[in-house]
Structure 1
Amino acid sequence: MAKNWHLSSIKQLLDELNTSIEKGLSTNESEKRLRRLGPNRLATGKPISPWGIFAHQFQDFMVLVLLGTVIVSLLLGEFLDATAILAIVLLNSFLGFTQEYRAEKSLLVLRNLTASQCKVLRDGHKTVIGVDEVVPGDIIFLEPGDRVPADARLIETQNLSVDESNLTGESLAVTKDANWQADIHTALADLKHIVFKSTLITRGYATALVVTTGMDTEIGEIADLLREKPSTMTPLQRRLDQLGKILVVACLVIVGVVFGVGLMHGLPIYNMFMVGVTLAVAAIPEGLPAVVTIALSVGVQKMSKRKAIIRHLPAVETLGCATVICSDKTGTLTLNKMEVQEVWTPSGFHRLQQGEALKINLDKEDDLFYSAITYALCTKAEVYEGEEAFGDPTEVALLRVSERSGLRQSNLRRHYPKVKSLPFDAERKRMTAVVRDGNEYLALVKGAPDVILQRCTQIMVGSKVYGLTEERRQLALSALESMADQA
């Protein structure tokens, strides 16, 4: 596939990929392409076996010096010293192995959390397949909460917004349009007619044509650059390596000096050689690698309590030496999740700490109660599998407040069945959901405050309804201005 495929029309891409919007690929053709191009996944390198992790602990130069000391001690008949030094080496290796093995297992769990299935058109029928089985030419269907399985050209969109923060670093969702036209100078982040692998659908629906998969995708190219980056020694590793070499040279000097002095005094050659070797062995700091490993392990444990995974122990020391960190903050220093910090209703302000619930009396239908059910019902955001919410970041933040306060979206939908909804658009500047409340109807509206206030004649304060006077209107606008100043 040409590098600038985003400049091609849908018809050109369909012809080049030998597929159709009506039928998609045949099962036989998709299997051929899967065998030829390989599975649609990012290369992560060969998994390290437990034995490989354990063997890695013996690559440090100081550890090799200690192993050499064990051999020399055995040759000298110092079995107790040899046993003690070997025990220290094994303890050091076991501590390092334990930390790195746990990190590898944690990373494996995180990789398995990625999307595993998607909806495609095969043989003219919609079907669900594993993401690994997606191939160029597949017609895929996307909806809120879906992770885009591959780089694809949009064929049809309905109010589509995509969170591309893990690719571009942009925290705001990007509006997509299948009819948008690109030119050769258009930047990656500005391509409105393309969706990229691993990005998240936050709102709307789409049909798209898969063009590239696996390591040929944009995120795959980034992964390839990271995979090819050579590893370097940390400052501590370099110092220990230098210390080990200095000790080896010092030991050889000690042996030479003792041996030479002994010869000058006419002492037996064998005896002087043994004395020199014994002094050299005694000069080796056997406990140093174990002390360093224990200190680094303590750092790893402290960071794990803060939900940070350290794959290799020496990385703790490198991070400790850092004075400046240059990072794309989205998803690294921030979570790319909006949180409601404060809610205003006519009864007053309600300040929320991170993750805190609104104090709602579920038996009392007041202004706070109706605000919360509006968050849950007048929205395109959805709660999936009872926990995770997907959709527009602002709507998701509001929905989380309702969920934490005990007003579960699934329960509210059963109690207040939706009759009709009008989506938010630039002209109306508001969204409306009409629900059934027993034998009555309830209209829930959210949108631009100035637009909604113009259409209101009454206001609920607590559980009582009053006429919306100019004084109360100004009170609402003042609260809005106060909160806007804090944004």
Structure 2
Amino acid sequence: MAQPATLWHAIDAVEVLRQLEADPGGLAPDIAARRLQAHGPNALPPPQRTPGWRRLLRQLDDPLILFLLAAAVVAAVLAHYVDAGVIAAVVLVNAIVGFVQEGRAEQALSALRSMLAPSARVLRGGAREQVAVETLVPGDVLLLEAGDRIAADARLLRGRGLRVDESVLTGESVPIEKSVEPVATGADLGSRTSMLYSGTLVAAGQATALVVATGPQTQIGRIGTLLGEVESLTTPLLQQIARFGKVFTTVALVASAALLLFAVLVRGYGWLDALMIVVALAVGAIPEGLPAVITITLAIGVRRMAARNAIVRRLPAVETLGATTVICSDKTGTLTRNEMTARSIATVAGRVEAQGGGYAPTGVLVARDGGDAALATAQRVARIGLLCNDAQLHADGDGHWRIDGDPMEAALLALAGKAGFDGAAMRNAHPRLDEVPFDAAHRFMATLHADAEGAGALVCVKGAPEQVLALCTAQAGRDGGAGPLDAAFWQQSIDAAGGEGQRVLGFAWRRLERVPERFVLDDIGELVFAGLVGFIDPPREEAIRAVADCRAAGIAVKMITGDHAATAAAIAEQLRLADDVRVVTGQELEGVTDAELPELAGRASVFARTTPEHKLRIVRALQSRGHTVAMTGDGVNDAPSLKQADIGVAMGRKGTEAAKEASGMVLADDNFASIAAAVHEGRAVYDNIRKVIAFTLPTNGGEALAVILAIVFGWVLPMTPPQILWINMVLAITLGLALAFEPPESGLMARPPRRRDAPLVSAFMLWRIVLVSILFSVGAFGIFAWAQGRGHDVATTRTMVVNMFCVMEIFYLFSVRYLHGTSFSLRGLRGTPAVLWAIVAVVLAQLAFTYLPWMHVLFGSRPLPLFEGIVIVASGAALMGLLEVEKALLRRIGVFEELGPVPADERAT
């Protein structure tokens, strides 16, 4: 009976062979064929796809869209073909955009399937064979070497210098050393050094491994299962628009039916005339241009984000970033530079800090304690790191340094440069004669060099500190000589560096009187321990600033990483993720129930050594507390949580296709600062959407209220149905659209994030809609009465009302551009190019409406005298002044929190 897959790492290799009834020489072909029939192909199941026609129809399943379609049909029946065509076009464009985006979302599982290698080398019946990965079965013996992508989960049988890049699964920034020895049953995924996992890459060495799991039973298969179970969430904006659409549709239908009956039964209108008025009114009141303007606003946000290295894959994701309350970020390469840096050198003389980051061999060594003696002993350690090294550094033309080889060895070359060594000169002075390469079995590397000081030789060794210490019988003194080895001192130094999240290497040397005839593993011993070097992947400077910006904006930043707890905690402290950084490991999460996790997830700042299941649970726990969660990631292991998050953010440079396909946004530069910039743009987009709504609903409401009051009280209609449609058509495609291009208001990131359940129409906006609708109606009836008092006929009076509406909307546009501040500023009155072009378009359209004879025939308009035009413009300016005073008063008395505090420059007045 085979053991569960999670226990293979804890079982001796011989026992694994026995349990799987396998042979080191490979399975017989007939046995392999029977097992393939029993276990199925080594492939992930294809994703279930929704038929295209169903996805297309699903885009129309929205109350506001259905109402717009009904209005388009009625308008077409009544021969208003232009308006019917505009409404239908808006609905069609939105349906197509949604259809295309949803189709892209279904590619995530397909990307996971592409992680598997196309073929694999195995032993079958004692002979080497190249077989298709689909035919691998438990019990097959894999033959692996550097550069191979592992095709199935396997238990290591033999390995030489084997290191595996498991970053796609664990997030571990450095290749993992593998060994045959079993590990503890409870070891997390990143610590299972006896196991090889499907989809990971052999970075160095050779191996023979026994396949223990294929297809859906592999770690990647489990992730695929998790990904398939995660349902894509509707963004907060779409939820709000859906709620708004249902309420608005209900109110509009009831009000339209009631008005139709009232007009016919009470006021004596004919059924056709009343229906014409109600349809014109309904089409005028319905913000049919709103979906299009929102789409355009989101598209503009996409363009702005792309300029800041954030590439949006799904349009609603733009706005979701603005609602983000928690960002769960990967560590390596996102918050950190993804460049190993030799940060500290510990010797008997003291501790030395290396200044500068990255692989540039520029900077200086600074003694934290020990003075010049510490610097001198540190230089000796740096020299060993330079000689016992196989990496190379190359300077690019733009000032960046490219590495060829192991990242930690490259960091040692940079350290040698900071210590003042010329690498080429040092290698010429001490040419390498022989070497013992690094191997996971002994965990160190040794090189033999000609000694420039005599006829002898110099042995340089670097590796795991405990292994190197075990080979030493002495330690370097402050003066360069050798003294007794103080193992307790070095263990304390190792622990201190580990507590700061540093990876540590030990360095030793030995001088030989003559060059040995052979240089093998058994000859290495009686070394002099020189010191320790601590490495760290330092945080990005811009990430530190971005974290501070996010915290100031009320957005919590949590690190979720596969790295070690101490390393993650040290980086979190440097990033200042929280005032009190709390670290929770994946092992601790295993003992936390789903009911307890939300509270823990809220308090913790760092989650270390996490698995895909842990990440998914953390995101869901945060969402259960009402948070809007952004999740970053790059590996296959991140795909389920990226899909579960409200906005998944994948890395563009080092991210896998599976991560990108499961996300809503991709960072072109893999930089956390770009997320903060995207949050800023997302908030700006949401502000602009609210401005569009705050502009559209009151202006439409003003038109509707004026006609409703006229019908209810039996007054002369201030506008005819064609004139209502004219106002709606001209202003919707000009002034409303101009707000989509608005730049962000100041203080945008100083506001707290909005609640996930916050209504699209807030209390302030509702107040504004009612107030402005009333003011528009008062203005319409006021100009109507004034015009009639001056003896104008009904056609001229109605022309004045139409122009009054357009002028009031122009001035209201300037007021609504700043919801959180005054519009009475040079910037506010100057307007943006979009605003100015929109005003020019409206003015030209209204001049044509008022003075062109053929427009008089179509719309019943009349030319206006100059004085009447001046009065109309003055009335619009008065409206803007009144609304600005109202905004300032409301902010001063603090009725609506969303207006924010009174700015300092306004408090002074």
**Aligned ranges for residues 49-64 of structure 1 at < 5 Å?**
57-64=59-66
Cross-structure match for 1:229: 230
Shift of 1:255: 1.8
Q: Work out whether 1:431 is the aligned partner of 2:446.
A: yes
Q: Structure 2: how far apart are the matches of 1:101 and 1:41?
A: 23
Tell me the number of residue pairs that the alignment of Structure 1 and Structure 2 aligns. 432
Q: Structure 2: how far apart are the matches of 1:44 and 1:393?
A: 37
Cross-structure match for 2:249: 248
Shift of 1:93: 4.1
Q: Structure 2: how far apart are the matches of 1:169 and 1:205?
A: 23
1:433-483 Cα distance to aligned partner (Å, 9 max, x none): 789xxxxxx9996737978785579xxxxxxxxxxxxxxxxxx99x98999
Cross-structure match for 2:213: 212
Shift of 1:291: 1.7
**Aligned ranges for residues 48-197 of structure 1 at < 5 Å?**
57-96=59-98, 112=114, 115-180=117-182, 182-183=184-185, 185-197=186-198
Pair 250,310 (structure 1): closer, same or farther in 2 beyond 3 Å: same
Q: Is the CA contact 1:39–1:134 (under 8 Å) kept in the aligned structure 2?
A: yes
SS in 2 for 1:19: coil
**Aligned ranges for residues 342-357 of structure 1 at < 5 Å?**
none
Cross-structure match for 2:265: 263
Shift of 1:241: 0.6
From 435, 445, 450, the counterpart of 1:421: 435
Query: What letter matches 1:272 in structure 2?
Result: A
Q: Structure 2: how far apart are the matches of 1:104 and 1:214?
A: 20
1:197-220 Cα distance to aligned partner (Å, 9 max, x none): 233333332211111112212332
Cross-structure match for 2:280: 278
Q: Structure 2: how far apart are the matches of 1:88 and 1:180?
A: 63
Shift of 1:237: 0.7
1:59-83 Cα distance to aligned partner (Å, 9 max, x none): 5554343333322322333211111
Pair 106,190 (structure 1): closer, same or farther in 2 beyond 3 Å: closer
Q: Is the CA contact 1:169–1:330 (under 8 Å) kept in the aligned structure 2?
A: yes
Q: Structure 1: how far apart are the matches of 2:459 and 2:112?
A: 39
Pair 168,339 (structure 1): closer, same or farther in 2 beyond 3 Å: closer
Q: Structure 2: how far apart are the matches of 1:223 and 1:106?
A: 9
Q: Structure 1: how far apart are the matches of 2:3 and 2:433?
A: 48
Q: Is the CA contact 1:145–1:391 (under 8 Å) kept in the aligned structure 2?
A: no
Question: Which deviates more, 423-432 or 291-300?
Answer: 423-432
1:268-323 Cα distance to aligned partner (Å, 9 max, x none): 33442443233222221122111222222233344456665544322222222112
Q: Work out whether 1:19 is the aligned partner of 2:35.
A: no
Which of the two has greater helix per residue? 2
- Point out the structure with max Rg over C-alpha: 2
SS in 2 for 1:146: coil
Question: Which deviates more, 313-322 or 53-62?
Answer: 53-62
Shift of 1:47: 5.8
Q: Structure 2: how far apart are the matches of 1:276 and 1:87?
A: 22
Shift of 1:27: 4.3
Cross-structure match for 2:390: 379
1:328-382 Cα distance to aligned partner (Å, 9 max, x none): 43466557x43558999xxxx9998768799xxxxxxxxxxxx99x98994389x
Q: Is the CA contact 1:164–1:173 (under 8 Å) kept in the aligned structure 2?
A: yes
Pair 397,353 (structure 1): closer, same or farther in 2 beyond 3 Å: closer
Query: What letter matches 2:390 in structure 1?
Result: T
Cross-structure match for 1:466: none
Flag structure 2 segments of 5+ consecutive residues without an equivalent.
346-352, 363-381, 393-401, 416-431, 451-456, 464-474, 477-505, 513-529, 540-569, 571-909
Question: Which deviates more, 41-50 or 118-127?
Answer: 41-50
Shift of 1:240: 0.6
Pair 129,481 (structure 1): closer, same or farther in 2 beyond 3 Å: closer
Shift of 1:223: 3.1
Q: Structure 2: how far apart are the matches of 1:376 and 1:113?
A: 38
1:20-41 Cα distance to aligned partner (Å, 9 max, x none): 211x234454455445434333
SS in 2 for 1:326: strand
Q: Is the CA contact 1:144–1:202 (under 8 Å) kept in the aligned structure 2?
A: yes
Q: Is the CA contact 1:203–1:392 (under 8 Å) kept in the aligned structure 2?
A: no
Pair 260,239 (structure 1): closer, same or farther in 2 beyond 3 Å: same
SS in 2 for 1:203: strand
Q: Structure 2: how far apart are the matches of 1:484 and 1:255?
A: 65
Query: What letter matches 2:261 in structure 1?
Result: G
Q: Is the CA contact 1:66–1:286 (under 8 Å) kept in the aligned structure 2?
A: yes
SS in 1 for 2:326: coil
Q: Structure 2: how far apart are the matches of 1:392 and 1:25?
A: 36
Pair 88,482 (structure 1): closer, same or farther in 2 beyond 3 Å: closer
Q: Structure 2: how far apart are the matches of 1:326 and 1:132?
A: 36
Shift of 1:398: 7.2
SS in 2 for 1:201: strand
Q: Work out whether 1:394 is the aligned partner of 2:408.
A: yes
Query: What letter matches 1:128 in structure 2?
Result: Q
**Aligned ranges for residues 270-349 of structure 1 at < 5 Å?**
270-304=272-306, 310-330=312-332, 333=335, 337-339=338-340
Query: What letter matches 1:20 in structure 2?
Result: D
Pair 147,291 (structure 1): closer, same or farther in 2 beyond 3 Å: same
Flag structure 1 segments of 5+ consecutive residues without an equivalent.
359-370, 382-387, 402-417, 436-441, 458-475
Cross-structure match for 1:447: 462
Cross-structure match for 2:767: none
Q: Structure 1: how far apart are the matches of 2:387 and 2:237?
A: 53
Cross-structure match for 1:409: none
Q: Structure 2: how far apart are the matches of 1:67 and 1:376?
A: 76
Shift of 1:258: 1.5
Q: Structure 2: how far apart are the matches of 1:422 and 1:309?
A: 47
Q: Is the CA contact 1:163–1:199 (under 8 Å) kept in the aligned structure 2?
A: yes
Shift of 1:138: 1.4
Shift of 1:430: 4.1
Pair 27,45 (structure 1): closer, same or farther in 2 beyond 3 Å: same
Q: Is the CA contact 2:357–2:538 (under 8 Å) kept in the aligned structure 1?
A: no
Q: Is the CA contact 2:152–2:198 (under 8 Å) kept in the aligned structure 1?
A: yes
Query: What letter matches 2:202 in structure 1?
Result: I
Q: Is the CA contact 2:119–2:130 (under 8 Å) kept in the aligned structure 1?
A: yes
Pair 100,207 (structure 1): closer, same or farther in 2 beyond 3 Å: same
Q: Is the CA contact 1:120–1:140 (under 8 Å) kept in the aligned structure 2?
A: yes
Question: Which deviates more, 139-148 or 448-457?
Answer: 448-457
SS in 1 for 2:327: coil
Shift of 1:85: 1.4
Pair 174,376 (structure 1): closer, same or farther in 2 beyond 3 Å: same
1:382-440 Cα distance to aligned partner (Å, 9 max, x none): xxxxxx99975424767999xxxxxxxxxxxxxxxx985312479895432789xxxxx
Question: Which deviates more, 145-154 or 238-247?
Answer: 145-154
Cross-structure match for 2:693: none
Q: Structure 2: how far apart are the matches of 1:287 and 1:323?
A: 30
Shift of 1:55: 5.5
